[in-house]
């Protein structure tokens, strides 16, 4: 299984599954069904134009005009829905840049233009082979645009990051907690979680003493409550800055 390492705004490394041929093909087929349905409806509407005595050339022009959105369906959906078409939404996959950041319109436009080579030339064999044999499961359009397709299924619980659940009216206790860095808080939380599972109260004391030394603070809280408060205060200030 190939994964894409993404570094979040709070320096939390998350690995996302890179999507291969199967799920992408299903998303493509779903989008194809949507387009086929749309075009069929439009053709039926044009057939009603006999009522208005429109000639054959007029019908062709009208049909071309009202089916034009189908031509730009993919690129417009990707731009509007942040790297997703309806098919990708259903399959819970999306297009992102190689560093994990959201795509820009020009990335998606390049990717869309090269569908001509990847999908429509040689019955999609070029895109298929490119996805199957590239390290990051990219078709030619992805390689040119600097994009990959990843799963949006959330495999990461908040406990695996430095983030903390905060109630809406949470009131912080230690205002100077922002002297800590993300990497410090990550180490504190990882150590704290291990200590909680093992009921290791000695580690709680060590953590407390180290935090108090760094921040030059004192507190009458119990060691465990103190560390939990530090983690929540840090999240309060960093999430609201």
Q: Answer with the one of 151, 170, 192 that is the final residue of a domain.
A: 151
10 shares a domain with 76: yes
Quick one: 66 and 162 in the same domain?
A: no
Task: Specify the pLDDT at position 31.
Answer: 96
Taking the whole predicted model, whether its pTM rises above 0.75 is answered as: no
pLDDT in tens, 191-209: 888 888 888 889 889 989 9
Burial of 226 (0-12, 13-18, 19+ CB in 10 A): buried
- Please give the biggest Cα pair distance in the chain: 89
- Residue 79 shares a structural domain with residue 184: no
User: Do 233 and 184 share a structural domain?
Assistant: yes
Give the domain range for residue 14.
3-151
In a shared domain, residues 145 and 169: no
Q: What spatial distance separates the first Cα and last Cα of the chain, rounded to whole Å?
A: 37
3-class secondary-structure state, position 161: coil
What is the sign of the dihedral through the CA atoms of 100, 89, 79 and 125? positive
The domain boundary, picked from 126, 151, 176, lies at: 151
With b meaning 16 or more CB within 10 Å and e meaning fewer, what string describes 60-96? eebbeebbeeeeebbbebbbeeebbbbbbeebebbbb
- Each residue's pLDDT expressed in tens, for the chain with a length of 241 residues: 566 655 444 444 445 788 999 999 999 999 999 999 988 888 777 776 555 556 566 666 666 777 788 889 999 999 999 899 999 999 999 999 887 777 999 999 999 999 999 999 998 999 999 999 998 999 999 999 999 999 888 554 444 455 556 777 888 899 898 898 888 888 888 888 888 888 888 988 998 999 999 999 999 899 999 999 999 888 888 766 5
pLDDT in tens, 20-70: 999 999 999 999 999 999 888 887 777 765 555 565 666 666 667 777 888
Q: How many structural domains is the chain composed of? A: 2
From 19, 4, 133, 40, select the one nearest 87 (Cα to Cα): 19
167 and 109 in one domain? no
The answer to whether residues 165 and 128 belong to one domain is no
């Amino acid at each position: 299984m190939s994964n894409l390492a993404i570094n979040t705004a709070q320096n939390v490394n998350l690995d996302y599954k890179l999507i291969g041929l199967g799920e992408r093909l299903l998303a493509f087929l779903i989008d194809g069904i949507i387009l086929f349905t749309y075009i069929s409806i439009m053709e039926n509407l044009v057939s009603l134009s006999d009522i208005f005595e429109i000639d054959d050339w007029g019908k062709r022009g009208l049909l071309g005009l009202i089916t034009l959105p189908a031509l730009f369906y993919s690129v417009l959906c990707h731009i509007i829905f942040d790297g997703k078409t309806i098919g990708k939404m259903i399959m819970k996959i999306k297009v992102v840049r190689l560093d994990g950041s959201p795509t820009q319109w020009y990335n998606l436009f390049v990717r869309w233009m090269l569908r001509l080579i990847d999908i429509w030339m040689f019955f999609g064999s070029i895109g298929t082979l490119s996805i199957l044999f590239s390290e990051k499961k990219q078709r030619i359009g992805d390689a040119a645009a600097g994009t990959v397709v990843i799963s949006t299924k959330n495999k990461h619980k908040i406990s695996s990051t430095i983030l903390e659940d905060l109630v809406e009216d949470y009131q912080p206790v230690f205002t100077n907690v922002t002297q800590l860095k993300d990497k410090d808080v990550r180490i504190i939380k990882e150590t704290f979680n291990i200590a909680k599972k093992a009921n290791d109260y000695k580690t709680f004391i060590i953590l407390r003493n180290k935090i108090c030394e760094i921040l030059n603070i004192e507190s009458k809280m119990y060691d465990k409550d103190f560390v939990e408060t530090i983690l929540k205060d840090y999240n309060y200030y960093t999430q609201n800055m």
